[in-house]
Amino acid sequence: MSDIQPPSRRLSYAIAAAVVVLVVAVVIVSVRSNSAGVADPSGVASLPAPTGPETVTVVAVGDIACDPASSGFNDGVGSTVSCGQLATSDLALALDPDAALLLGDIQYECGGYEAFLESFDPSWGRLKAITHPVPGNHEYVATGTTGTGTDCSSLPDAAGYYRYFGAAAGDPAQGWYSLDIGAWHVIALNSNCAKVGGCGKNSPQGKWLASDLAADESRCSLAFWHFPRFSSGHHGNTEALSAIWELLDDAGVDVVLAGHDHDYERFAPLDAAQQPRPDGITSFVVGTGGKSLRPFEVEEAGSEIRVADTFGVLSLALGEDSFGWQFLPASGETALDEGTGACQ
Taking the CA atoms of residue 79, residue 32, residue 221 and residue 236 in that order, the dihedral angle to the nearest 10 degrees is -70
- 158 Cα distance to chain centroid: 19
Q: By the 8 A CB rule, do 89 and 128 touch?
A: no
Rounded (5°) CA angle 75-81-82: 40
Angle between helices 242-250 and 204-215 (to 10 degrees): 10
Rounded CA-CA distance 292/309 in Å is: 10
Residue 44's φ and ψ, nearest 5 degrees, are: -70, 135
Half-sphere exposure at residue 280, Cβ-oriented, CA atoms within 13 angstroms:
17
Rounded CA-CA distance 245/214 in Å is: 15
Q: What is the CB neighbour count within 10 angstroms for residue 144? A: 8
pLDDT in tens, the chain (344 residues): 333 334 444 434 433 433 333 333 333 334 434 333 444 433 333 346 787 778 999 999 999 999 999 999 999 999 999 999 999 999 999 999 999 999 999 999 999 999 999 999 999 999 999 999 999 999 999 987 766 799 999 999 999 999 999 999 999 999 999 999 999 999 999 999 999 999 999 999 999 999 999 999 999 999 999 999 999 999 999 999 999 999 999 999 999 999 999 999 999 999 999 999 999 999 999 999 999 999 998 999 999 999 999 999 999 999 999 999 999 999 988 999 999 999 98
Rounded CA-CA distance 89/95 in Å is: 10
Which CA distances in Å does 61 have to 45, 51, 285?
Answer: 22, 23, 8
- Measure CA of the first residue to CA of the last residue in the chain; give whole Å: 31
Q: Give me the pLDDT at residue 7, please.
A: 40
Q: By the 8 A CB rule, do 99 and 181 touch?
A: yes
Q: Give me the pLDDT at residue 114, please.
A: 97
Which CA distances in Å does 119 have to 38, 96, 107, 225?
Answer: 29, 21, 8, 22
Q: Does domain 9-342 have CATH number 3.60.21.10?
A: yes
Least Cα distance to 125 among 162, 165, 70 occurs for 165
pTM: 0.87
> String of b and e for 212-246 (b: at least 16 CB within 10 Å)?
bbeebebbbbbbbbbbbbbbbbbbebbeebbbbbb
Where helices occur in 166-264 by DSSP H, the ranges are 204-215, 242-250
Q: Give me the pLDDT at residue 25, please.
A: 39
Q: Give me the pLDDT at residue 146, please.
A: 62
Q: Where are the domains of the chain?
A: 9-342
Q: Give me the pLDDT at residue 21, please.
A: 34
Instruction: Examine residue 139 and say whether the peptide bond preceding it is cis (omega within 30 degrees of 0).
Output: no
Least Cα distance to 310 among 251, 262, 245, 240 occurs for 262
Rounded CA-CA distance 281/222 in Å is: 9
Rounded CA-CA distance 28/326 in Å is: 11
Element (DSSP H or E) covering residue 21: helix 14-23
Q: By the 8 A CB rule, do 247 and 210 touch?
A: yes
